[in-house]
Amino acid sequence: MSKYLALLIAVLAPSCSRQNEVTPITTLEKHSFDEVIEQHLTDASVWPEFGIERANEMIELFDMVELGGAIGQRAQRRVNRLGNNEIQHALLLIVETDKQNTALRRRAYTLLANRDWQSSNRFIPRLTLRLKYEKDWPSNIIIARALANVGSLAGLDAVQSILLNSSENEIDDLDLAKSLAAEFISEINSGHDDFKDNWQHLQLLSDNWDSVHTFQGVKTDFNQQYQDELWHLVAQFRSQPLRPVDDARFVFIRLEQQSMTVLAAAASDNNRYVRDHCLQTLTWMQASTQLAYDFALEESLEILGSDFYSSVRAIEYRGSLMAESQADFLWPFIENGNYEQRTAAADALLRCADYSVARIDALLIDQSFSPEAQCSLLLLRDELRGNEIVIPQISGLDQNELNRRLRWQQQRQVLAAD
């Protein structure tokens, strides 16, 4: 009899366990969003339309001004008739187009740095992008100076790298670059001539810029033309080739604080790539995007969190705010989300949750998390326990992915220590 029973159980057991393995698909909605970018681009101003030849003529005009005398005066009168947009576009065209003539590029950067642009600052994003592509080190210092004049400290990284670089490296004009950098850090420290003092001041400015993207010395004028430029920039997120996308991300993460409001608004655009890259860029900027959250995202994140295409990015962004208040928004995703949502939620919780250890332990009973999610939850548990970090040994977890999560845990500790 018992033999029959055992046979019956053996026969029935597999079919029962198969039923249990079936996971219901989490329902997400394909929300409809507005054409946010198009609405802004309809009336947005654009750069003047002329090519490199006209740009070269313009820079010759500036050269003639410096000759002085009658020729100089005549050239100056012609320069005076040019608008700021024309001049900026010409100088930017030169530095974007002429790869061979370093001297000419330096000259164009210097003109951008030395001129008083008043509130004409729409060149900031285009000039910021030069930090990605300009290989001439002295030019990078001039870019940093031009940007600082209009309230952007995006070039400080380049200044620090150059000052920290040992002269053993074979870099053209490194000494010139170092001397320009030393001049620049004195300039932004009210002309002090003590290098050590200037260096410390630079570090403070740099840390502040990295965390809140503001420069107390000069405030960037958030005027309409500048905003138009940002809308053109965020439109690059729609591109099929990745290069324009990466260029736009590069620039946005280096812009002053108010620029984040454009990203926050565009995060509800009807183009899924735009939504994705806006949230991704804000995520990379971490806590410095609090303004973006306050500005627009607090309300839209709920919709984005249930959007078929944007949910994972929205979850990830919540984590990057590193605010405990986000944890309760994340919890439903880790309990009921799909595989990707659960990974994103586990990562996000690692960055912000302050739950009881027991609550995380209960989650960890579930074996169906991705290796990445398991790693985040284990690190979170260690963190909550106050234990020394034990590097999780998880099958299928890439080393790079482990490192990212260890970095998040360290950031959390730094934030707690502050």
Partner 1 sequence: MRFISALFAVLGIAALALMLAPQESLPATEWYSSTQCLDCHADVAAEWKSSHHAFAYENPEVRKLSNDFANQECIACHAPQPVLKFEAGERVLARQSERGLGVDCLACHAVTDGGVATNNRQANGDAPCHPRFVERMGSVQLCSSCHNQHKTVDQWRGAPDNLKGNNCLGCHMPQEFRQGGRSGSNHAFPASHDLVALQSAVSLDLKIEDGVVRTTLTNDGSGHNFPTDERSRAADLFVQYQVDGKLGEWQRLYRFRDPYRDETDLTNTQLPSGQSMSFDLRNDVQSVAVRLIYKTNPFMSDDDGVVVHSATLVIDE
Q: Rounded to the nearest whole angstrom, what is the least distance from the CB of residue 312 to partner 1 in the complex? A: 6
- Ramachandran region, residue 117 (left: φ > 0; alpha: ψ -120 to 50; beta: rest): alpha
Q: Rounded to the nearest whole angstrom, what is the least distance from the CB of residue 160 to partner 1 in the complex? A: 17
Token pair, residue 46, equals: 């654009």
Site for partner 1 in 274-333 (CB under 8 A): 276, 284, 308, 312, 316
Name which position in 343, 351, 377, 378 contacts partner 1 (CB under 8 A): 343
In 272-323, alpha helices (H): 272-285, 290-292, 298-305, 311-320
Binding status of residue 70 toward partner 1 by CB under 8 A: no
Q: What is the dihedral of CA 169, 175, 179, 182, to 10 degrees?
A: 20
- Residue 18 vs 81, nearer CB to partner 1: 18
Contact 329, 51 (CB under 8 A): no
Task: Say which residues have a Cβ less than 8 Å from residue 364's Cβ, sequence separation at least 6.
Answer: 374, 377, 378, 381
Name which position in 2, 17, 21, 356 contacts partner 1 (CB under 8 A): 21
- Ramachandran region, residue 353 (left: φ > 0; alpha: ψ -120 to 50; beta: rest): beta
Positive or negative, the CA dihedral 220, 222, 224, 230 is positive
* Residue located via tokens 């405030």: 219
Name which position in 344, 353, 377, 378 contacts partner 1 (CB under 8 A): 344
Helix, strand, coil share of the chain (percent; to 5): 70, 0, 30
- Residue 126 vs 249, nearer CB to partner 1: 249
Site for partner 1 in 179-218 (CB under 8 A): none
Q: Rounded to the nearest whole angstrom, what is the least distance from the CB of residue 402 to partner 1 in the complex? A: 10
Q: Rounded to the nearest whole angstrom, what is the least distance from the CB of residue 49 to partner 1 in the complex? A: 24
Binding status of residue 2 toward partner 1 by CB under 8 A: no
How many residues bind partner 1 (CB under 8 A)? The answer is 48
Which spans of this chain sit near partner 1 (rule: CB under 8 A)?
Answer: 1, 4, 7-8, 11-12, 14-15, 18-19, 21-26, 99-100, 133, 135, 240-243, 245-246, 249, 273, 276, 284, 308, 312, 316, 338-340, 343-344, 347, 370-373, 396-398, 400-401
